[in-house]
Amino acid sequence: MKAAIFKGKGRIEIEERPKPAIKEATDAVVRVVRSCVCGSDLWYYRGIAPHPVGPIGHEFIGVVEEVGARVASIKPGDFVITPFAFSDGTCPNCAHGFHTACLHGGFFGGGDDGMGCQAEYVRVPQADGTLATAPGSDFSDEVLASLLTLSDVMGTGYHAAVSAEVKEGDTVAVVGDGAVGLSGVLSAKLLGAKRIIALSRHADRQRLAREFGATDILEERGDAAIEAIKKLTGGIGVDAVLECVGTDEANQTAFAVARAGSVVGRVGVPHEVAIDAVGTFFRNVGMRGGPAPVRAYIDKLLPAVLDGRINPGKVFDFVTGLDGIAEAYAAMDERRAIKSLLKVSDLK
Ligand SMILES: [Zn+2]
Ligand SMILES: [Zn+2]
């Protein structure tokens, strides 16, 4: 099969690799229909975070090809959405809704055992707990793109909003205008936020943020952004903050604009972040979030996609095939694209 191979900083190429086979009785092998490039893949591509030379990618949807002897709820031919982390769905951490802390779980994204997801086939461990089936067998390109976001970005944005305890009528600030931040705007809207302040300085992202429900767009950053948000909220700050970047500056902004008693929901992986323990203490500001248990949110978000209430697939503004992988990364790296979608195979 064809698979995208990370060859080192700035180099992604397609190579022939053996098609993955069932390794454990709880595995499934899935034919990939759509895959995509994640913002976190860019950390490797830019040489900022380490990644082994080899297969890469952790977001995809597809059709089940084969299942192991102990797989009960998933069968060949099922159309499935795959979260970026696999999980058994039954351990105490899964039962509490934190599938990314599954005692028998782990993450897709590489290795030589068929778990790089920018490829024609993927081996899925813990198939019963990991895979979510979608009803129907005939989805438009538009719906497929939205279903693909449930694999990571939409579930991650939703986790930021849930962690920040967004509720009806809230004023919310979203720090970060990547695909996750934009999904955070959409999630805040879905949870009933009345005013959504998005921080963005790119015209294409601003447009989508507005379409997803942002009421105010601020181009300022750092202290200027803090000042602008304070000004918009009568000096008080917002009811909930979604931190979708992970840099120190984004975190400083997020905690500074959170009003007394509110929560910062963070989904950006922290890179050298120092949070002010004393300042947040005296303002009773909370902090939640982490790797999104996207599996926990699929059941809630899937109907919203299927009935057209949300269309998170709009974050994909660059589409190519698996052979166009180098360009898919380059387009995101050069900010020509918000997020790149890979059409790997047809649904049928
Ligand atoms: Zn991702
Ligand atoms: Zn578990």
Summarised one tens digit per residue, pLDDT across range 115-169 is: 999 999 999 999 999 999 998 878 999 999 999 999 999 999 999 999 999 999 9
325-337 residue pLDDT tens: 999 999 999 999 9
- Mean pLDDT for the chain overall: 96
Measured from the alpha carbon of residue 105, the closest ligand is: 2
> Can you tell me the mean pLDDT for 101-113?
91
* Distance of CA 290 from the midpoint of ligand 2 (Å): 16
* Distance of CA 65 from the midpoint of ligand 1 (Å): 23
pLDDT at residue 111 in the model: 79
Percentage of residues in the chain having pLDDT higher than 70: 100
Give the pLDDT band of residue 110 (cuts 50, 70, 90).
confident
> 33 near 135, Cβ under 8 Å?
no
Residue among 197, 177, 179 nearest 189 (CA): 197
* Distance of CA 58 from the midpoint of ligand 1 (Å): 6
pTM of the model: 0.97
In which element (H, E) is residue 34 found? strand 28-36
Residue among 201, 196, 195 nearest 222 (CA): 201
pLDDT at residue 77 in the model: 96
* Distance of CA 60 from the midpoint of ligand 1 (Å): 10
Structure tokens at 215: 């009421």
* Distance of CA 82 from the midpoint of ligand 1 (Å): 11
pLDDT at residue 184 in the model: 98
> Can you tell me the mean pLDDT for 101-121?
93
* Distance of CA 233 from the midpoint of ligand 1 (Å): 33
Under DSSP, is residue 297 helix (H, G, I), strand (E, B) or coil? Answer: helix
- 48 or 87: whose pLDDT is higher? 87
> Can you tell me the mean pLDDT for 218-241?
97
> 34 near 342, Cβ under 8 Å?
yes
Under DSSP, is residue 220 helix (H, G, I), strand (E, B) or coil? Answer: coil
- Burial call 19-42: b when 16+ CB within 10 Å, e when fewer: ebebeeebbbbbbbbbbbbbbbbe
Measured from the alpha carbon of residue 153, the closest ligand is: 1
Percentage of residues in the chain having pLDDT higher than 90: 95
Domains of the chain by range and CATH?
2-152+293-343 (3.90.180.10), 157-289 (3.40.50.720)
Q: Is the pLDDT confidence value at 240 over 90?
A: yes
pLDDT at residue 263 in the model: 98
Q: Is the pLDDT confidence value at 112 over 80?
A: no
Measured from the alpha carbon of residue 35, the closest ligand is: 1
259-306 residue pLDDT tens: 999 999 999 889 899 999 999 999 999 999 999 999 999 999 999 999
Give the pLDDT band of residue 113 (cuts 50, 70, 90).
confident
* Rounded Cα gap, residues 226 and 111, in angstroms: 42
Q: Is the pLDDT confidence value at 207 over 90?
A: yes
* Distance of CA 97 from the midpoint of ligand 2 (Å): 9
Structure tokens at 280: 């947040």
